[in-house]
Structure 1
């Protein structure tokens, strides 16, 4: 029987035809996604669901989807899909991460022009029969300093276009290497310097705990008077109330926003302020981009349903069905090793070396490498997946190398990852035990044996009496229960580490108390996906 696919949002007829041409039984109901009850009643019959942003794939929808194997989003954002619930149900979630990069970058440039020359207001005035030529005095972009926050795929294109406009471009991105910056023709700076120097500031970062609200009253106070701010990335990166006050005071000369904290945006502090350009999340809204992502979704879903090939999956490794049973735990280990290093590394990574020892050296190393790199990148960009991570690493000038070797130690197999920055080398190794669970076995050259938990705490210190008591006492005082406690040291009195598996997230108060003891060189909370 042919696989059945439901298209519940607007998708091009060409994309729908791809399903038919490849033997897929497809139902095209572009308005169904807006009616959650109707979707709930119908979803049980389908193997695949192709969506845009209107369809909300909730846990309730997934529970009703008895045959569903894959959900594919035509676009990059998957906020409308409950990925953990999909993973638990065994449903693959795909997206098309590269189909609308140019379109979104061009929209940011267009918004910058619009706010620089007050084009929307001038157009409305002229349509009203006014001729207010002296009212709309603009500024040139040439020789102005553009600060780009986030120089990844879209931000990198904005940098390239702005350099072509003869702007002086500076960029803040923790993962931007000096080599990549030089290739883009931009100057890499820290965030405070970017805020202080920029005439225009444009944001191109995902919405994470670290980036939400990053442009607030405090950040705006550091900016030069007359700055103009553009956000075509994600709502919530800018505190809209703080920006509105700065616009009213004249400290900020203008703003251009395509995204808002609450969407659809019916009311915002930015609405109806002078020289504020607003569009309804049009970053990906061009004929070319919509066609590109639609065609990609149709091809990806057809490939998976007909051959089992997985492309741009957000919640599973790109491995064959034959490899999955053996490689699954090792893919998770590689991801955990990358996540460990990614969460500890703040400076740009220049190189990543992965050593595969023993039996693991005979596995699908490409998939393991992708999982490891994705683990690193996801610490700052949760949208990264196993397919996009290597591309992003290459764009940022990160050198990836691997070493394979026969069994050299006590373990039948292990993976060791080393990252190189301008300041240091950092390494971690792990293995998979017979129970299929990943374990950390070495950090900084110090041997340990630590189970991987969802919430962990990592500390470094000089080996000395009282460390265990201090850790346990402060954890207990703050009501954090320790599930597992692993210690290691290089030698008596030398470097020592502790890795604690705890029952909940470690809060800032606890971290501060540990740091204030003066006993620890570093204290770092860690989060891992152990599903």
Structure 2
């Protein structure tokens, strides 16, 4: 039997190659190749192990005639064309938790640097100035740390901060009260955190909901003298507003490891007093580099030799026999989960996946994982069908699986329900022709829609003229409508509109739609 052949195209810990060989793979370590050189040799390999330097583009993937798996040693997969890989049946894996401790420790280190003005004091002392009275720091003991994001990395930061005898408050829509108690933190709303925190650290992905979460307005709400650390993603903080807040003294100090544009070789914040910058070092420790290299080697070898799937971004854990039947159901489940995730806010202590009819005959675990992946991916870009159940458990979410063998209005149905502060809310979908996912119910209202691409969601009062007004608004702004899907509870009552559009609806147009007569809620959706 021919051994699977793996190419390691970026520099990694040498133990990664040793693991491949020990697990029954041949491996070549060839780094520094240009795209053309990589394209010329990639057809020889079953697996491609990369870090951030190699770009697995459509062109490279097209040339990879034997490739079965791409493994990214690290979290981010911006350098992999996942749709192209998926279309060709190539599994894309990452190692989403290998850098967690390292990133958390870097955030703590930057907190210390701000508290004691370490970079400025070092420069001054090495310049022979000995300005002992200039650098008056603050103690961290007894201070309040505000966590924006209390997931894997945020929970580690909280644990270290509690060890420093700090008080910890956390804002995270997915943090349950029970999980907050287990972590030893106080769950608060964002405005409460901004008002109370002496230090703020950010540990959330960059999404439409979190972009500029520390905006000019929110920075103004912070406690005077606050110190802010971001080791998560550039774009979570309005950088221009942060400079103004530093210059005015309202923010006593800020430390950024990430920037909107990287590499950040020039930046308005550079040279600002009480500002510390590092070049995206969150994952840069020897231990983290070893961890992710070993993990990706183990995962890829297991897949190539045994067919096991771990931390795949585009494939659930499935047996070869189950895959063909489950594939359309998982597509439906992920879309329903994503829809609920985009339309609900606040803590979600419970999510239920209810299958009816033909769906009850299938393995529900991949369906559940697909729902959770769609639901949680709205908040975290490292979620996949493999780690989604773990993340849901970590966040204190109760996951219920319910089967009803009898058929209702549809021969097969998946219903996703979440418990919210406003009560139980649910969406349901079916398969047309046993393969085409369709939404058939939205929060108790019958509506038939295909969930695909950019969409616009509107809740309005059912009244004459509304469809014309919204169509005119989109047309005047050059937005082409693909499909128009309507539903209502009763004549003259509450109605919903789901329309697909050819391009994402700008925020300004959403604001205009909000002001139309009878409109209660407007949101942009993406699938």
Q: Fold-level match, TM-score > 0.5? A: yes
Q: Structure 2 CA distance, aligned partners of 1:465 and 1:254?
A: 55
The CA deviation at 1:89 is 3.2
Trace 1:401-440 onto structure 2 (pairs within 5 A).
Answer: 401-434=400-433, 436-440=435-439
Question: Is the 2:48–2:70 Cα contact (8 Å) retained in structure 1?
Answer: yes
Q: Structure 2 CA distance, aligned partners of 1:423 and 1:317?
A: 32
Q: Structure 2 CA distance, aligned partners of 1:237 and 1:444?
A: 31
Residue 22 of structure 2 corresponds to which residue in structure 1?
21
Residue 272 of structure 2 corresponds to which residue in structure 1?
273
Q: 1:496-517 CA deviation, whole Å, 9 max, x = no partner?
A: 3332233332333443333223
Residue 9 of structure 1 corresponds to which residue in structure 2?
10
Question: Is the 1:348–1:421 Cα contact (8 Å) retained in structure 2?
Answer: yes
Report SS of the residue matched to 2:321: helix
Trace 1:306-325 onto structure 2 (pairs within 5 A).
Answer: 306-325=305-324
Q: Structure 2 CA distance, aligned partners of 1:218 and 1:397?
A: 31
User: Do the aligned partners of residues 116 and 89 (structure 1) sit closer, same or farther apart at CA in structure 2, a change above 3 Å counting?
Assistant: same
Question: Is the 1:255–1:275 Cα contact (8 Å) retained in structure 2?
Answer: yes
Report SS of the residue matched to 1:370: helix
The CA deviation at 1:431 is 0.9
The CA deviation at 1:52 is 1.2
Residue 333 of structure 1 corresponds to which residue in structure 2?
332
Residue 157 of structure 2 corresponds to which residue in structure 1?
158
User: Do the aligned partners of residues 43 and 122 (structure 1) sit closer, same or farther apart at CA in structure 2, a change above 3 Å counting?
Assistant: same
Question: Is the 1:200–1:229 Cα contact (8 Å) retained in structure 2?
Answer: yes
Question: Is the 1:329–1:436 Cα contact (8 Å) retained in structure 2?
Answer: yes
Q: Structure 2 CA distance, aligned partners of 1:240 and 1:479?
A: 31
Report SS of the residue matched to 2:322: helix
User: Do the aligned partners of residues 278 and 455 (structure 1) sit closer, same or farther apart at CA in structure 2, a change above 3 Å counting?
Assistant: closer
Where does structure 1 differ by over 6 angstroms across 4 or more consecutive aligned residues?
none
The CA deviation at 1:435 is 5.7
User: Do the aligned partners of residues 354 and 435 (structure 1) sit closer, same or farther apart at CA in structure 2, a change above 3 Å counting?
Assistant: closer
Question: Is the 1:453–1:502 Cα contact (8 Å) retained in structure 2?
Answer: no
Question: Is the 1:407–1:413 Cα contact (8 Å) retained in structure 2?
Answer: no
Question: Is the 1:331–1:368 Cα contact (8 Å) retained in structure 2?
Answer: yes
Q: CA RMSD in A?
A: 2.1
Structure 2, unpaired ranges of 5+: none
Report SS of the residue matched to 2:28: strand
Q: Structure 1 CA distance, aligned partners of 2:492 and 2:258?
A: 54
Q: Which moved more, 1:271-280 or 1:378-387?
A: 271-280
Q: Structure 1 CA distance, aligned partners of 2:493 and 2:239?
A: 50
Q: 1:361-399 CA deviation, whole Å, 9 max, x = no partner?
A: 122211111110111111222321112222221111111
User: Do the aligned partners of residues 271 and 457 (structure 1) sit closer, same or farther apart at CA in structure 2, a change above 3 Å counting?
Assistant: closer
Q: What TM-score do the two structures reach when normalised by structure 1?
A: 0.93
User: Do the aligned partners of residues 302 and 195 (structure 1) sit closer, same or farther apart at CA in structure 2, a change above 3 Å counting?
Assistant: same
Residue 221 of structure 1 corresponds to which residue in structure 2?
220
Residue 527 of structure 1 corresponds to which residue in structure 2?
526
User: Do the aligned partners of residues 519 and 12 (structure 1) sit closer, same or farther apart at CA in structure 2, a change above 3 Å counting?
Assistant: same
Report SS of the residue matched to 2:439: strand
User: Do the aligned partners of residues 470 and 264 (structure 1) sit closer, same or farther apart at CA in structure 2, a change above 3 Å counting?
Assistant: closer
The CA deviation at 1:213 is 3.1
User: Do the aligned partners of residues 134 and 513 (structure 1) sit closer, same or farther apart at CA in structure 2, a change above 3 Å counting?
Assistant: closer
Q: Structure 2 CA distance, aligned partners of 1:253 and 1:521?
A: 41
The CA deviation at 1:186 is 1.9
The CA deviation at 1:60 is 2.4
Q: Which moved more, 1:60-69 or 1:288-297?
A: 60-69
Question: Is the 2:71–2:93 Cα contact (8 Å) retained in structure 1?
Answer: yes
Residue 54 of structure 1 corresponds to which residue in structure 2?
53
Residue 453 of structure 2 corresponds to which residue in structure 1?
454
Q: 1:331-350 CA deviation, whole Å, 9 max, x = no partner?
A: 01000001111110111111
Q: 1:183-228 CA deviation, whole Å, 9 max, x = no partner?
A: 2222222223322322111111112233333334333222233221
Question: Is the 1:148–1:203 Cα contact (8 Å) retained in structure 2?
Answer: yes
Report SS of the residue matched to 1:349: coil
Question: Is the 2:43–2:64 Cα contact (8 Å) retained in structure 1?
Answer: yes
Q: Structure 2 CA distance, aligned partners of 1:485 and 1:235?
A: 36
Residue 137 of structure 1 corresponds to which residue in structure 2?
136
Trace 1:467-486 onto structure 2 (pairs within 5 A).
Answer: 467-486=466-485
Q: Which moved more, 1:486-495 or 1:110-119?
A: 486-495
Report SS of the residue matched to 2:448: strand
User: Do the aligned partners of residues 524 and 246 (structure 1) sit closer, same or farther apart at CA in structure 2, a change above 3 Å counting?
Assistant: closer
User: Do the aligned partners of residues 85 and 267 (structure 1) sit closer, same or farther apart at CA in structure 2, a change above 3 Å counting?
Assistant: same
Structure 1, unpaired ranges of 5+: none
Q: Structure 1 CA distance, aligned partners of 2:111 and 2:396?
A: 28
Residue 173 of structure 2 corresponds to which residue in structure 1?
174
Q: Which moved more, 1:123-132 or 1:142-151?
A: 123-132
Q: Structure 2 CA distance, aligned partners of 1:57 and 1:423?
A: 45
Residue 371 of structure 1 corresponds to which residue in structure 2?
370
